[in-house]
Structure 1
Amino acid sequence: MTSTMTTEPAPSPASARRSRNIDQRLATSPPSIGRLTMVELRKMIDTRAGVVLIVVGAVLIGTFGGGAVLFRDAPSIGRITLLAGTPAMLLIPALATLLVTSERSQRTALITDALVPRRARTLTAKLIAVLVSAVLTAALCLLAAVVIGATGPLLTGRAVSWTVDWTAIGWFAAAMIVAALVGAAVGTALLNAPAAIVLVLAWQALIFPLLSAPIIGPVLSWIDFGAVSRFLDGITGDELARALVGVTVWILLPGVLGWIRQLRTEVR
């Protein structure tokens, strides 16, 4: 009785050398920040919560922008943009929070750390993705205003002015970026998406009535990250100081704490 044994041919020296070179490149050349940023942007629509927020945000942007044509006197593209950005300013922090916390809650951070062992690179890519998403959201509000301004008069018969105060739009985009960074900073500090989202949304909902309170109102005005949005009507030294304090309290302090926690906390 005979048996035959088959063995795979040994790799040639050239193929073995190419394989070693590929392994060395993979070990010494981690993914670029640009590629990691694109991956992080894609993660925003990889979860059901992210998709729901984006869809709800798009609907609300159109609804609020359309309301400017229906109910505002002398609507303009600039005013429609600012009104369309009202719901976006509430939703963009939640989207940023989900981006920086979803991997921990879904237990996919182990895979990310295995592919990109340097956590600082991943965190940097997440931060850039948050900034890009905020700018894209502001651009979406402007695009929605243009579409509404072109189609609204056909439905309502009311003329829309195509004037835009670009300085106000610039501060509007800056306020959008600040709101997104607040969501990311608080999310990284707490490492808990529901708690971070509730905290930020509760603050945004309660700050306006609380600012009129006689005792705590003046104090809270110094820690309100939404102070940047008041630059739309002009900047004073007092408003600038309040905005800087608010950014420090809501972005710098929790951001530094969250960065340290993300780098040192064991992923489970």
Structure 2
Amino acid sequence: MSTATAPAALTPRRFDRPGLGLLTRVELRKAVDTRAGRWLLAITALGALAVSIARGLTGAVDDRTFSGALELGLLPLSFLLPVIGILLVTSEWSQRTALATFALVPHRERVAGAKVLAALSLGLLATIAGIAAAAIGNGVGIAAGDANGSWSLSGAELAQTVLGLEANILIGVAFGLLLMSPAVAIVAYFALPTVFSILGEVIGSLESTFGWIDPNRALDPLYTGDAAGGDWGRIAVCLALWIGVPLAVGAWRLLRREVK
């Protein structure tokens, strides 16, 4: 005679929250999962390489150095990195995956934090790519035989290069988080600084003021690697205006926006 046994009590399985490191890796993978993302990253790297080689082969002899190639090679990076940052934070809304993302990770501030960390990681990788491109460009100039070919680069110049690229991509992240639409954010990112530059030129009495809030002027010393003295005050004010304010407002919107 068999005796019936009571079924074992079912214990609910506990799902741990995904760590910030895992979420950051997921966001980095999103940046290269799409064809547009891969092409944009490839064009950015190739643009830096082409400009660096051009600097190694052309221009004044004294400018054809590793430092000169790096400074010029930063132009395509500083131009396209913010677009990558915008696409990184607007992908949920443009590809209609926000519902899935925030269902899996209900804590939206963690997703936003992971996107910021992913953007900073991409900025660091871009810096490494820019340095490699500058080294190739300088090597080509040396091989051509009529370049200065100096490899000198101070620690301060390198630090300012990293800070400039990271600031640029964070401005893109801030605009994307604030506007949550890739097209609108990209247009706003390119249009607003241009408007500020024009106003600074047209309204002479406000020229000194716009020197603090126009990113084209306030952040320029970072890209050339010669920020010093009063430049840092202008850089801090500019970053607070173009990163801090839109990032804070964008995070507030993200936490309260209805997901459909």
Q: TM-score range by the shorter chain?
A: 0.7 to 0.9
Q: Note the C-alpha offset of 1:204.
A: 5.0
- What's the Cα RMSD here? 2.3
Quick one: distance in 1 between partners of 2:176 and 2:24? 18
Q: Note the C-alpha offset of 1:148.
A: 2.4
- 1:85-137 deviations in Å (ceiling 9; x for gaps): 11100111110000000111111011111111111111110010111111111
- Structure 1 position 250 matched with structure 2 position 242: yes
Quick one: distance in 1 between partners of 2:35 and 2:235? 34
- Structure 1 position 157 matched with structure 2 position 145: yes
Q: Percent identity?
A: 32
Match of 1:219 among 199, 206, 209: 209
Q: Secondary structure at the match of 2:240?
A: helix
Larger radius of gyration: 1
Query: Do the aligned partners of 1:135 and 1:173 also contact (CA within 8 Å) in 2?
Result: yes
Q: Secondary structure at the match of 2:33?
A: coil
1:167 counterpart letter in structure 2? A
Match of 1:62 among 49, 56, 66: 49
1:267 counterpart letter in structure 2? V
1:53 aligned residue: 40
Quick one: distance in 1 between partners of 2:54 and 2:177? 36
Question: 1:21-100, aligned counterparts within 5 Å?
Answer: 23-24=13-14, 26=15, 29-72=16-59, 73-74=61-62, 75-100=64-89
Q: Note the C-alpha offset of 1:166.
A: 2.4
Distance 1:35 1:143, change over 3 A: same
Query: Do the aligned partners of 1:188 and 1:262 also contact (CA within 8 Å) in 2?
Result: yes
Q: Secondary structure at the match of 1:44?
A: helix
Quick one: distance in 2 between partners of 1:85 and 1:48? 24
Question: 1:4-19, aligned counterparts within 5 Å?
Answer: 13=8
Distance 1:41 1:236, change over 3 A: same
Query: Do the aligned partners of 1:78 and 1:164 also contact (CA within 8 Å) in 2?
Result: yes
Q: Note the C-alpha offset of 1:150.
A: 2.6
Q: Which runs of 5+ in 2 are unaligned?
A: none
- Structure 1 position 194 matched with structure 2 position 183: yes
Q: Note the C-alpha offset of 1:246.
A: 1.0
Q: Note the C-alpha offset of 1:149.
A: 2.4
Quick one: distance in 1 between partners of 2:53 and 2:178? 37
Give the count of matched residue pairs. Answer: 249
Match of 1:228 among 203, 219, 227: 219
Q: Note the C-alpha offset of 1:53.
A: 1.4
Quick one: distance in 2 between partners of 1:192 and 1:220? 27
Quick one: distance in 2 between partners of 1:196 and 1:215? 30
Q: Secondary structure at the match of 1:117?
A: coil
Q: Secondary structure at the match of 1:45?
A: helix
- 1:207-247 deviations in Å (ceiling 9; x for gaps): 6666544244333222123423314224122x222222211
1:218 counterpart letter in structure 2? S
Q: Which runs of 5+ in 1 are unaligned?
A: 1-9
Q: Secondary structure at the match of 2:219?
A: helix
Match of 1:133 among 102, 114, 122: 122
Distance 1:234 1:123, change over 3 A: closer
- 1:3-25 deviations in Å (ceiling 9; x for gaps): xxxxxxx9x84xx86xx46x21x
2:257 counterpart letter in structure 1? T
1:6 aligned residue: none
Quick one: distance in 1 between partners of 2:109 and 2:237? 26
1:49 counterpart letter in structure 2? A
Query: Do the aligned partners of 2:82 and 2:172 also contact (CA within 8 Å) in 1?
Result: yes
Distance 1:229 1:173, change over 3 A: farther
